[in-house]
Amino acid sequence: MTVSRLCFAEERITTRPIPTRGLIPASTESRLLMDIPESSRPVADRATLSESIHRIGDACGKSRVVECMVSDDPACAVDDDGPVDSAGRKMGRSFFHLHLVSDSTGETLITVARAATAQYEGVSAIEHVYPLVRSPQQLDRVIAEIEAAPGIVLYTLVESELAERLEESCRETGSPCLAVLSPVHSLFKAYLGADSTARPGAQHMLNADYFKRIDAMNFTLMHDDGQLPDDIEEADVLLFGVSRTSKTPTAIYLANRGLKTANIPLVPGIPLPPHVESAKKPLMIGLIASPERIVQIRENRILSLHAPEKTDYTDRAAVAEEIAYSKRLFSRNRWPMIDVTRRSIEETAAAIIDHYRAHKMKFIAT
């Protein structure tokens, strides 16, 4: 079987068949398109690219891996080792089918799969997510999808009959298959000396923790961007920072972890709400970022709003002064500072949660 690596030059698509294990089926070209940035696709439009992938798919049939190269180099070509540009440098990204089968929401599988995939440079997974698979009929549809696009299969199915049937089907199609939670269950069983109870989605039951998260989310949304500062003592975490330091998305992420989070913007010339600096119960966290990063994000926001471009909001010197003021405020109050310049929301939230654990211990000790 052969695959055609795609070489995009100006507004034309050229293909050349190269030996491999197959090509992406036509049904999943939309996921492939999502992984190719719009700015890197100098083709006429998405329809043109989609039609071309359909054509190649019809010619080559099913597949497991496809390598696509996006380039604006008119001299780009494909050699025996892969796609290369005019200077002979290898270019491209490999894609593979990844099937995630769950009898619950699939969040556990998605998290594990993306964490593993992120460790492989130049490789992206084409995710097929199948949540709430709890009957043989639902599993039949999943198996049909796997047969149409063989690839790695990860699953969390507590019903042994469904799990065995899925594994048997994977053996027939040659798709590697793994029960993600099986090693964890084996470890728990050996340590606890007890068998687990088959309960699909047990971690999503409407228990006290669930309603705690809902309460935290409601609180966080009502206290976004400095709103309702009078009951700030009810918060678990207070976030401070100048505009575009990811206060709101970080607050929402923390709320989903059960922490009531309020965020307060630091605006030049505008004092903090009364009693905020003297609050005792909440953990105070200051968020900072480099002036260059702040300016870049603000400029993009200005463009999206079609607002005037030349203002202090995007002036580097003014932004640097805002950040310097925020650092002085945090240092004066001895609030922990977190630089979010190169941090994801998840990494920032993890650091805050770590600070919060230590913060709670102060109240337990007293």
Give the pLDDT confidence score for residue 234 in this predicted structure.
95
Q: What is the dihedral of CA 113, 117, 123, 124, to 10 degrees?
A: 40
Long-range contacts of 262-265 (CB under 8 A, 24+ apart): 262/219, 262/220, 262/223, 262/224, 262/229, 262/232, 262/235, 262/237, 262/238, 263/223, 263/224, 263/225, 263/226, 263/238, 263/239, 264/225, 264/226, 264/229, 264/238, 264/239, 264/240, 265/225, 265/226, 265/241
Same topology, domains 95-200 and 208-365? Answer is: yes
Query: Is the domain defined by 95-200 classed in CATH 3.40.50?
Result: yes
Stated length of the chain: 366
Give the pLDDT confidence score for residue 67 in this predicted structure.
41
Give the pLDDT confidence score for residue 34 in this predicted structure.
38
Decide: 175 and 146 in contact? Cβ < 8 Å. yes
Decide: 80 and 151 in contact? Cβ < 8 Å. no
Helix residue ranges, H only, the chain: 29-35, 46-60, 107-117, 136-148, 160-173, 182-192, 208-222, 247-256, 291-305, 316-333, 345-365
Spell out, as residue ranges, where the chain has pLDDT lower than 50: 1-80
- CA–CA dist 304, 298 (Å, integer): 10
* pTM (2 d.p.): 0.64
Domain limits of the chain? 1-91, 95-200, 208-365
Give the pLDDT confidence score for residue 189 in this predicted structure.
87
Task: Output Rg (C-alpha) for the chain, integer angstroms.
Answer: 26
H or E element in which residue 240 lies: strand 237-241
For 58-67, b where at least 16 C-beta lie within 10 A, e where not — what string? eebebbbbbb
How many other C-beta atoms are found inside a 10 Å radius of the C-beta of residue 216?
23
Q: Is 319 exposed, middle or buried (0-12, 13-18, 19+ CB in 10 A)?
A: buried
Give the pLDDT confidence score for residue 242 in this predicted structure.
97
- CA–CA dist 68, 50 (Å, integer): 13
Architecture of domain 208-365: 3-Layer(aba) Sandwich (3.40)
Give the pLDDT confidence score for residue 90 in this predicted structure.
54
